[in-house]
Chain A
Amino acid sequence: MIIIGERINGMFRDIAKAIREKDPKPVQEWAQKQEAMGAGYLDLNVGPAVPERVPAMKWLVEVAQEASKLPLCLDSTDYDAIEAGLEVCKQPAMINSVPAIADKMDRVFTLAQKFDAEVIGLAMSEEGIPKDAESRVALSMELVANCDAYGVPVDRLYIDPLVLPANVGQDHGPEVFETLRQIKLLSDPPPKTTVGLSNISQGTKNRELLNRTFAVMAMACGLDSAIADACDEELVAAVATARVILNMDIYCDSYVDVFRNQNL
């Protein structure tokens, strides 16, 4: 599973301050820290308290890619900000995200086609997040069909079946796993999958334990990536272990180190 490092988010005080003061240092330090822990992408989110999202996203992209060679995941509901970010990305990026709503899919898949970007698609509609797997899969199919119609390769689409916290949406858990399995049958090549991992433990105790347990269970159902805390050592070790168990990486005694050090 590829970890999309979640730390560069304006909801964290140090990042919000950095954006406000145009101070690259905190952003670049977190970029490098997450890279050193084996992250595959860096998520960039300007956060809720930024008045001008377009220049803020542009700045985050420029500053992050100076410090790290990892591909970037542009996280915003403001598609103008996403577009501005894509324009200055040095390598193809990921757009986070688009729901299965017609006009939004139109905008985002057009951007993806133009900038050769990957796309995170959310299995939700105007009516919100459905519960049962069948409905989630139907929404996923909408995303797949639209992605394909806009000429974006379906394996550059990452579908997020949408995770709810274990203490709130506990009955969604099994539905999410079933959705992950069925998504792989939608097309050939199938779309990829992702989740916002921290969502499973929002407002609960044992946050890290919940996060890493969910991660390995989901990997067994075909989860390809997750937006998560790349600096959580135990999470990284659990993911490395699951990859070996799933025959995705060849075992060696130092397999945790190898996975963690993959960017060095």
Chain B
Amino acid sequence: MGLTGLEIFKHLPKTNCKECGFPTCLAFAMALANGKTSLDQCPDVSEEAKEALSSAAAPPIRLVKIGTGDKVIEIGDETEIFRHDKRFNHPTAVTIAVNDNEDVGTKVETVNELVFERVGQRYEVDMVAIINASGDAATFKTAAETAAAKTDKNITLVTDDVGAMEAALGVVADRKPLIYAADKDNYEKMTELAKANGCTLAVKGEDLNSLAELVDKVVALGYKELVIDPGSRETSKVLADMTQIRRLAVRKKFRSFGYPTIAFTTKEDLREEMLQAGVYISKFSGIVVLKTDKKEHLMPLLSWRENLFTDPQKPVAVEPGLHEVGEPTADSPVYITTNFSLTYFLVEGEIDSTRIPSYIISVDTGGISVLTAYADNKFTAEKIAADIKALGLEDKVNHKKAVIPGGVAVLKGKLEDESGWDILVGPREANGIQKFAKSNFA
């Protein structure tokens, strides 16, 4: 939505001169709000008004890119405070920091190894941030070069020294790294570097007011590919600042904060750091930079990110078909369920806990749950029987017994007819599977 009638009216001279063809400025403002005229009809409108009107049509938080190619990171373009109102669009870019005065090559290789597979998804870290801990431009440059050579992940360059940044850009500019950061002392030169190299620029304030001021200055220099840092570093303060930035951008169209944000962890203890990063992912950070390179910490963080950024309006589905829990044999039990993620993983988890290797047939119900699918005629005896056949179960197991969810016990008879298999009626709830398996398959 563009500006409202009242907002437009406030920018007008209120002389009612009628040059625009409307009897009053108020009438003109309303017509403009409804797209029935154009601002240039008014001879007396200010530059500020023109700027306000054009920027009003832009999304509340700019979409910015870091990196190139198929691994390019997109952040920003958010419109919500709560995911349940619509969804969060662009998952937080999780970034691991590497100091330029440590063994950069080894650390970067460790980061490359941080790949996890679970529930049919592949998770990895998005970026490596090279920190100019040495204070030396040459060291920084070497570190950037080493890192770029050893990873195809995207890169953030962290230094407040323009000389060092320039040196590093000299070797990695083609990777379109994030330039961190412009501050009140170096922003003119940093903005120039960002412009010249076509890189997104981070802008760091000391607090919200100084951040807004600095963003305006950078924008006045003609650059808008920005990521913003409110400067706070304590968990509670960061939470407050990120909340303010998101609220002001989305609800008040406060243009100075209309950019994605970046947060840095500060906890020394890696476990505590993991939780700190988790808060930042939860609350509105476009990028989170952390030190830990431990799989055990990153796996839950990346899973949480995945969960938070799923679209609440789309049921999450798993690949339909035959799944194995453990290493099933020809004697192993066969369970039948839908391909709604929540259902599937609950069932799979419970079957796992039975410690009895089994097969699961995940029937394609379009990603909806057992009872809903049954009511919708998407979980039928015919379909299940067809799946049993198509998935070759009759060659995989030497029995002809399958378990259906207790909620659709009514399907037993028909399914037995359709498939020629013996159908066992399982528990209504997944948490009954352990007991069921104990009684039937132990």
Are A and B in direct contact (Cβ within 8 Å)?
yes
Q: Give A contacts to B, CB under 8 Å.
A: 137-138, 141-142, 144-145, 148, 154, 185-188, 190
Cβ of A148 and Cβ of B27 under 8 Å apart? no
Cβ of A185 and Cβ of B5 under 8 Å apart? yes
Which DSSP category, helix, strand, loop or mixed, fits chain A's interface?
helix
Cβ of B6 and Cβ of A142 under 8 Å apart? no
Residues of B within 8 A of A138 (CB): 26-27, 30
The 25 listed contacts between A and B (C-beta, < 8 Å) are: A137-B30, A138-B26, A138-B30, A141-B5, A141-B6, A141-B26, A141-B29, A144-B6, A145-B6, A145-B9, A145-B26, A154-B6, A185-B4, A185-B33, A185-B34, A186-B5, A186-B6, A186-B30, A186-B33, A187-B5, A187-B6, A187-B7, A188-B4, A188-B6, A190-B4
How many residues of chain B have a CB within 8 Å of chain A?
A: 12
Give Cα A142–Cα B25 distance, bound, in whole angstroms.
11
Q: Give B contacts to A, CB under 8 Å.
A: 1, 4-7, 9, 26-27, 29-30, 33-34
In addition to A138-B30, A185-B4, 19 A-B residue pairs with Cβ atoms within 8 Å of each other are A137-B30, A141-B6, A141-B26, A141-B29, A141-B30, A142-B26, A145-B6, A145-B9, A145-B26, A148-B6, A185-B1, A185-B33, A185-B34, A186-B5, A186-B6, A186-B33, A187-B6, A187-B7, A190-B4
Residues of A within 8 A of B7 (CB): 187-188
Residues of B within 8 A of A186 (CB): 4-6, 30, 33
Residues of A within 8 A of B1 (CB): 185
Give Cα A138–Cα B28 distance, bound, in whole angstroms.
11
* Closest residue of B by beta carbon distance from A144: B6
A-B contacts counted at CB < 8 A amount to 35
Nearest Cβ on chain A to B13's Cβ, whole angstroms: 14
Nearest Cβ on chain A to B62's Cβ, whole angstroms: 20
Give Cα A144–Cα B29 distance, bound, in whole angstroms.
12
Residues of B within 8 A of A185 (CB): 1, 4-5, 33-34
Which DSSP category, helix, strand, loop or mixed, fits chain B's interface?
helix
Give Cα A234–Cα B34 distance, bound, in whole angstroms.
38
Give Cα A174–Cα B354 distance, bound, in whole angstroms.
63
Cβ of A187 and Cβ of B30 under 8 Å apart? no
Nearest Cβ on chain B to A223's Cβ, whole angstroms: 19
Residues of A within 8 A of B4 (CB): 185-188, 190
Nearest Cβ on chain B to A148's Cβ, whole angstroms: 6
Residues of B within 8 A of A187 (CB): 4-7
Nearest Cβ on chain B to A176's Cβ, whole angstroms: 18
Residues of A within 8 A of B26 (CB): 138, 141-142, 145
Residues of A within 8 A of B33 (CB): 185-186
Nearest Cβ on chain A to B3's Cβ, whole angstroms: 8
Nearest Cβ on chain B to A157's Cβ, whole angstroms: 11
* Closest residue of B by beta carbon distance from A154: B6
Nearest Cβ on chain A to B417's Cβ, whole angstroms: 39
Residues of B within 8 A of A144 (CB): 5-6
Give Cα A190–Cα B33 distance, bound, in whole angstroms.
13
Nearest Cβ on chain A to B169's Cβ, whole angstroms: 41
Give Cα A144–Cα B8 distance, bound, in whole angstroms.
13
Residues of B within 8 A of A148 (CB): 6
Give Cα A154–Cα B10 distance, bound, in whole angstroms.
14
Nearest Cβ on chain A to B401's Cβ, whole angstroms: 40
* Closest residue of A by beta carbon distance from B27: A138
* Closest residue of B by beta carbon distance from A188: B4
Give Cα A148–Cα B1 distance, bound, in whole angstroms.
21
Q: Which of B1, B7, B9, B29 has the most chain A CB atoms closer than 10 A to its own CB?
A: B9
* Closest residue of A by beta carbon distance from B30: A141
